[in-house]
Chain A
């Protein structure tokens, strides 16, 4: 039992980036355990997906043609059947919203431990060492286990696999019990829309939890006006209903790539960083010099935003 079974992610006809990253993570583990890397791609245009996923390091791709879109019951049933047939040591899935909708169920059904949101994996042939964060990224931990496991990997932590592989592509006939399928996906909807497209802006003034109170947002609006910038925010501001959803930057919001991104009172959780790391120049204003945002900032001001922002407004008025 040394093989790896990794599962690809796709949505609305497109493979998601993490599908190529999971090949890299899976190949690395397979090399360490001396096994093969099997990839599963379930639902949608699986033959087309399999061609794209056939990159360096993949030994076999199992295609399961069943429905167009993700359904967690279909995924759970298919993966457990593939597990029974292939007997891999680890099942790797993306730590995506959909990954989290089936990986724990697969683990429970197979009576395996589940380790989620891993950012590094290491195997010495016997013990798996999984690195993950706790307390919102304030600490990293290593977690060891022997035996099999279901492991979800965080996106953008492993490079995407490249090259052209020579994997064996085989259709897997999953025996789907339709009576056990208890949920139906009826469609998708883009959120937000609205008046402003923050992904088009050259200069974004983005605000996070540091603003403390809704009333204080006026200060940031004044700054955006003075600079001719567009106002955006991290998730908590939108959760609080202080700004509409179309202003949210991050994994579950918009991906932005402005010339300059000014992150004010934003700590820089990984979900936020995923949406703005492509900005040309990043400036952080934050009281905490150790906040994760500092790791990706080009320029930083460690100070109280309520002192700095009024000065900046003065400069441009």
Chain B
């Protein structure tokens, strides 16, 4: 079985930051492997270690700077990577779900995997829609918000999963392959890349493609959705802030707990 994992480098924001126009000022931004994708990579690598997957390929939409993040995925055990980038993607404020769907679908069609694992959402734009959109676009089956995947496949063509619903309820579902599963955090424990893995990752294949290489028209990146404003949410706090030394604030809290009769 061949598994493809979508990997995104997300922007992270410091606690204190400033907004310039519709963006967070660059100096307050960092970059990291999307948390949800980390779990997707781990699940794919475990399927490989269990002898179920023969090959794990990652695909990323992103500029050259994100290769360090892609190497993280390779260091954790993915076999090779594809990165798609194009001048027409530079300076796009918000790459919408449709654009991501077209680009990822083109790569997936070329790779023809049995299973696609994608993080439930990205930590930066939080759309949580790309995986399912890609599946529908390709005529694959899908499952959103998967927090358990059985590592025994029935004749390679049905995946048994649990979907994490709200309120502590899980749905037990069987999904025909090929399929896209969007992976929820907590499905496994993502590993740290070993030094050996990091060394090996440098030698693994990382294929770079432009939109034309995968047959996607540049106009695809023109979003119908226009990001028009970004601002910090207004604080609605009317909390009483206790001030003073830890001893003093702890004493205030202690008094409250005694008043409420919940602690002696």
**A residues adjacent to B (C-beta < 8 A):** 11, 16, 72, 76, 95-98, 100-105, 107-109, 113-117, 129, 132-147, 149, 182-192, 202-203, 227-229, 235-236, 238-241, 245-246, 248, 251-255, 258-260, 262, 281, 283-284, 288-290, 292, 294-295, 297-304, 307-312, 314-316
Contact = CB atoms under 8 A, between A and B. Distances in A.
Given A240-B189, A301-B242, 11 more contacts: A100-B132, A103-B132, A105-B133, A113-B98, A129-B228, A134-B124, A182-B175, A184-B174, A239-B186, A303-B249, A308-B253
Contact of A188 (B141, B171, B247): B171
A294 B256 contact: no
B225 A138 contact: no
Contacts of A11: 165, 169
B225 A183 contact: no
Contacts of B141: 182-183
Contact of B240 (A295, A298, A307, A310): A298
Contacts of B13: 135, 138-139
A100 B129 contact: yes
B256 A252 contact: no
A236 to B, nearest CB: 8
The 7 A-B residue pairs with the shortest CB-CB distance, nearest first, are A311-B250, A239-B186, A105-B136, A104-B129, A182-B141, A101-B144, A104-B133
B225 A143 contact: yes
Nearest to A187: B172
A138 B17 contact: yes
B210 interface: no
Nearest to A274: B166
A133 B126 CA distance: 8
29 contacts: A97-B166, A100-B132, A101-B143, A103-B132, A104-B129, A108-B101, A116-B126, A132-B126, A134-B125, A135-B12, A139-B13, A144-B225, A183-B175, A188-B170, A188-B171, A190-B170, A235-B185, A241-B189, A252-B164, A253-B168, A259-B262, A292-B233, A294-B239, A295-B236, A300-B242, A301-B242, A308-B250, A309-B250, A316-B254
A245 B170 CA distance: 12
B228 A299 contact: no
Contact of B126 (A117, A146, A229, A298): A117
B176 to A, nearest CB: 4
Q: Which of B136, B172, B235 has the most CB of A within 10 A?
A: B136
A228 B258 CA distance: 12
A235 to B, nearest CB: 7
Interface of B: 11-13, 15, 17, 19, 22, 24, 94, 96-98, 101, 120, 123-133, 135-137, 141-145, 162-176, 179, 182, 185-186, 189, 223-233, 235-237, 239-242, 246-247, 249-254, 256-257, 260-264
Nearest to A252: B164
A301 B145 CA distance: 35
Greatest chain A CB density within 10 A among B165, B185, B186, B256 is at B165
